[in-house]
Amino acid sequence: MNRLIFGTIILMCACSGPEKEKSTVYSVEELRHAKGFHFETKENQRYLVIDEPWPKATKPIRYLLDKAPKKIVCTSTSHLPFFEMLGEEKLVIGFPNLNYISSEVFLKQAEQGLLTDLGPDGSMNMELLLGINPDAVIAFDMGGESKTLDKIQEAGIPVYYNSDFLEQSPLGRAEWIKFFGALLNKEKEADSIFSEIEKEYLRVKKLASTAENKSSILSGVVYGDTWFLPGGNNWAATFFSNAGAAYLWDSDTTSGWLELSFEAVYEKGNDAEYWIGTSTLNSKDEMLGQDSRYSSFKAFEQDKVFNYSKKRGPNGGYDFFESGYSRPDLVLSDLVKIVHPELLPDYQTVYFQKLQ
């Protein structure tokens, strides 16, 4: 729901690599926040190890870091900001469905013919892919099954699994810039950039902890008969907590999404002070058009409904799902500005805005 899901690229790779060795000959480099990957060194050779390349994967994948790819295909908009941050956006030569992209830099590259659209959502044109002949494809796998990645690897194109979406902390996900830094031979730059983001995030988090009151937060909307909202260990719930707010489902242990009835959410969230995150509904009229019962919530009545729709691409894509994952410091600042505006009086939100 909250990232570009490239249908047939979502699959389990048959060549999952060797199981992580238990031998002590490997020197392991730990990361500060990310749990899904690490680095290992053996006999002067350095490896990037993806510990859980897809949900519930039983074996890690180890990549030898020897030669940086010069032509890359990405499969998620959340990969793109890291290339911009590292000054290597021109390495990206292909992407499935350019309509999802919000970045002006990458859209300009597409206009100049430097970024190839590899097919509509849910497919990848193998003929086009082979035509641009990338050195690598950066993919993600939600645990589905398809032959697409197998075909790519059979064609001799390395596939690098990026499972940043499995991280449960905002800083853990942002630290995946080091995944890209390692691939692009820009590790020092990646570490420096992340350190600045981390420093600012922790500063704002500490500032939010000084707030006297913790405003209650409701999130999500109804689809069909089901209300989807973040679980208590979800990435979004962590943001709410770090912003000095009280997410009403913070005691839940789910890291994914909760699926509840309207009645269950209303019973618990009717008096929530803020409603933050309304999916693709970007006005109060749109919300009422979907379900008139929304008007009964206190946050709706008091005009305290916010969504991440302030920055959108020319084709409607939400920049929040493109650059927000790499800039948790900005997302947190946005949320603090909403629930504790007195703490950031001069700050202007980047992603979130109040619905009219």
Q: What's residue 30's pLDDT?
A: 80
Higher pLDDT, 11 or 109: 109
List of domains in the chain: 7-197 (3.40.50.1980), 210-354 (3.40.50.1980)
pLDDT(1) > 50 = no
Q: What value does the mean pLDDT take over residues 317-333?
A: 96
* Residue reference for tokens 């509509």: 120
Continuous segment of H or E residues that includes residue 115: none
Q: What's residue 150's pLDDT?
A: 82
Q: What value does the mean pLDDT take over residues 49-74?
A: 94
Q: What's residue 144's pLDDT?
A: 61
pLDDT(270) > 90 = yes
Show the tokens assigned to 225.
């008969």
pLDDT(15) > 50 = no
Q: What value does the mean pLDDT take over residues 24-41?
A: 85
Q: What value does the mean pLDDT take over residues 79-107?
A: 95
- Residue 266 CA to residue 155 CA, distance in Å, equals 53
Q: What value does the mean pLDDT take over residues 319-342?
A: 97
SS3 263: helix
Q: What value does the mean pLDDT take over residues 309-315?
A: 91
Show the tokens assigned to 44.
């002067």
- Residue 229 CA to residue 1 CA, distance in Å, equals 11
Alpha-carbon distance values, 85 to 116, 122, 189, 194, 327 (Å): 21, 28, 9, 10, 10
pTM for this prediction: 0.89
Confidence of residue 35 (pLDDT cuts 50, 70, 90): very high
Confidence of residue 22 (pLDDT cuts 50, 70, 90): very low
- Of 51-65, 114-128, 132-146, 321-335, give the range with the top mean pLDDT: 321-335
SS3 118: coil
- Residue 202 CA to residue 284 CA, distance in Å, equals 33
* Residue reference for tokens 């505006």: 341
Q: For residue 252, how far is the Cα from the chain centroid?
A: 21
DSSP state of 318: B
The DSSP string of 155-183 is TT--EEE--GGG--SHHHHHTTHHHHHHH
pLDDT, tens digit (0-9, with 9 covering 90-100), for 173-228: 999 999 999 999 999 999 999 999 999 999 999 999 999 899 999 999 999 899 99
Q: What value does the mean pLDDT take over residues 265-290?
A: 96
Q: Which amino acid is at 151?
A: K
Alpha-carbon distance values, 25 to 22, 58, 76 (Å): 9, 22, 35
pLDDT(8) > 70 = no
The DSSP string of 48-85 is EEES-SSTT-SS-EEEE--S--SSEEE--GGGHHHHHH
Q: Are strands 221-223 and 226-230 parallel, antiparallel or unpaired?
A: antiparallel
Q: Over pLDDT 70: what percentage of the chain? A: 91
Higher pLDDT, 4 or 114: 114
Q: What's residue 136's pLDDT?
A: 97
Count Cα neighbours of 113 within 13 Å in the Cβ-side half-sphere.
Answer: 0
Q: Are strands 136-139 and 72-74 parallel, antiparallel or unpaired?
A: parallel
Q: What's residue 28's pLDDT?
A: 81
The whole-chain average pLDDT of the chain stands at: 90
Q: For residue 157, how far is the Cα from the chain centroid?
A: 25
Q: What value does the mean pLDDT take over residues 229-244?
A: 94
pLDDT(3) > 70 = no
Higher pLDDT, 68 or 28: 68
